[in-house]
Amino acid sequence: MKKVTKEVYLKWYEDMLFWRKFEDKLAAVYIQQKVRGFLHLYNGQEAVLAGTLHAIDPSKDKLITAYRNHVQPIGMGVDPRKVMAELYGKATGTSHGLGGSMHIFSKEHNFYGGHGIVGGQIPLGAGLAFGDKYFETGGVTLCYMGDGAVRQGSLHETFNMAMNWKLPVVFICENNGYAMGTSVERTANHQEIWKLGLGYEMPCGPVDGMNPVKVAEAISEAVERARSGEGPTFLEMKTYRYRGHSMSDAQHYRTKDEVEEYKKIDPITQVLDVIKENNYATEEEIKAMDKRVKDLVKECEQFAEESPFPEKNIMYDVVYDQENYPFLPHKL
């Protein structure tokens, strides 16, 4: 694995803080009804993404995930202003306002969505890996899912084929404890999700998903295995989300104390502690990072606010590659 240097810690801090504040801003503008639909926020799970990005080669490796997907593309290099604009439904958004919160995509930055059907992205992730193996690109696909998705048949069908065909893919379950409002305990007879890999003889294991170093170590090993042709790995990231499943979640299924307990091992705080203990940055430098984050979030909001809504024709133009597809009329 690449060394975790002072620069890495500083980048982790600034990136993770930005992701958190970006999501906080979305929550705020959602309440103002500027962003609508469903809104699933990543707060608390940032170490999983930070650790991943340290372990992969973003020029050829691919990310695909479910609908909690605003900050992963930003981590892969997508302009955060375009992500914010997508949530505002604006023409400048990553999908010109056609995708919204749950469907962020960037072909340019190897981010393959952004998928709204629980577990639907799991075979797609294996399919991306199928393509990389077919064309011998050396790329590896990182395929994320929640703890709810592992109960879908798509996971089991995909695990079987991905192992059988030794596809270069890493399956990562971000176990934040709850499938919407249903705890892991209530959906299965077993609690250790990583053990699902055992039935397919897939290398698998649990990972401390609140610590980016632990995440990076586990993912590095898995990516190396995939890249060398030995096939998939299944990792269970033990993580936590501070906010509800979506904005409409009253969170009656857990206590405030439980949330507070997890905040004690908050990934951003953990990284900041390392920075302070090792004098990687002065107070002023930390404040400067905080200000940069704040300014960039503000810039994203302003860009989204000021961007125009899409023209009507885009609704038709992007459905088929065929030009002039004869859509049926729907109004007089």
Is 80 a binding residue for another protein by CB under 8 A? The answer is no
Is 229 a binding residue for another protein by CB under 8 A? The answer is no
What x/- string results for residues 18 through 57 when contact with another protein is judged by CB under 8 A? Answer: ----------------------------------------
Structure-token pair, residue 237? 């990231």
Is 160 a binding residue for another protein by CB under 8 A? The answer is yes
Segment near another protein (CB under 8 A); pick from 18-26, 96-104, 214-222, 272-280: 96-104
Identify the residue among 13, 19, 67, 130 touching another protein (CB under 8 A): 130
Residues 6+ apart with CB under 8 A from 265: 210, 211
Spatial distance between the Cα atoms of 294 and 286, rounded to a whole number of angstroms:
12
Structure-token pair, residue 193? 């999700």
Identify the residue among 164, 191, 255, 282 touching another protein (CB under 8 A): 164
Identify the residue among 3, 33, 59, 107 touching another protein (CB under 8 A): 107
Spatial distance between the Cα atoms of 203 and 197, rounded to a whole number of angstroms:
7
Least gap, CB of 165 to another protein (angstroms): 8
Residues 6+ apart with CB under 8 A from 53: 15, 75, 76
User: Which ranges of 191-233 would DSSP assign to H, the alpha helix?
Assistant: 212-227
Spatial distance between the Cα atoms of 129 and 49, rounded to a whole number of angstroms:
19
Is 278 a binding residue for another protein by CB under 8 A? The answer is no
Is 146 a binding residue for another protein by CB under 8 A? The answer is no
Segment near another protein (CB under 8 A); pick from 3-11, 116-124, 187-195, 295-303: 116-124
What x/- string results for residues 232 through 261 when contact with another protein is judged by CB under 8 A? Answer: ------------------------------
CA nearest neighbour of 193 among 225, 238, 159: 238
Identify the residue among 312, 322, 331, 332 touching another protein (CB under 8 A): 322
Identify the residue among 58, 131, 177, 181 touching another protein (CB under 8 A): 131
Least gap, CB of 130 to another protein (angstroms): 4
Strands (DSSP E) along the chain, which ranges?
62-65, 111-114, 141-146, 169-175, 178-179, 182-183, 204-208, 233-238
Is 319 a binding residue for another protein by CB under 8 A? The answer is yes
Tell me whether residue 154 or residue 270 sits nearer to another protein (CB atom): 154
Is 115 a binding residue for another protein by CB under 8 A? The answer is yes
Signed CA dihedral, 180, 73, 159, 128: sign only = positive
Segment near another protein (CB under 8 A); pick from 123-131, 245-253, 257-265, 294-302: 123-131
Spatial distance between the Cα atoms of 20 and 74, rounded to a whole number of angstroms:
12
Tell me whether residue 288 or residue 318 sits nearer to another protein (CB atom): 318
Is 325 a binding residue for another protein by CB under 8 A? The answer is yes
Residues 6+ apart with CB under 8 A from 273: none
Structure-token pair, residue 288? 């400067």
Structure-token pair, residue 79? 């302009």
Is 106 a binding residue for another protein by CB under 8 A? The answer is yes
Is 99 a binding residue for another protein by CB under 8 A? The answer is yes
Identify the residue among 78, 122, 223, 281 touching another protein (CB under 8 A): 122
CA nearest neighbour of 43 among 224, 194, 244, 206: 244
Strands 182-183 and 178-179 turn out to be antiparallel
Is 128 a binding residue for another protein by CB under 8 A? The answer is yes
> Is the CB of residue 48 less than 8 Å from the CB of residue 170?
no
Strand partners, 173: 145, 236
User: Which residues of this protein are in contact with another protein, per CB under 8 A?
Assistant: 62, 64, 93-99, 103, 105-107, 112-117, 120, 122-132, 134-135, 153-154, 157-158, 160-161, 164, 314, 317-322, 325-327
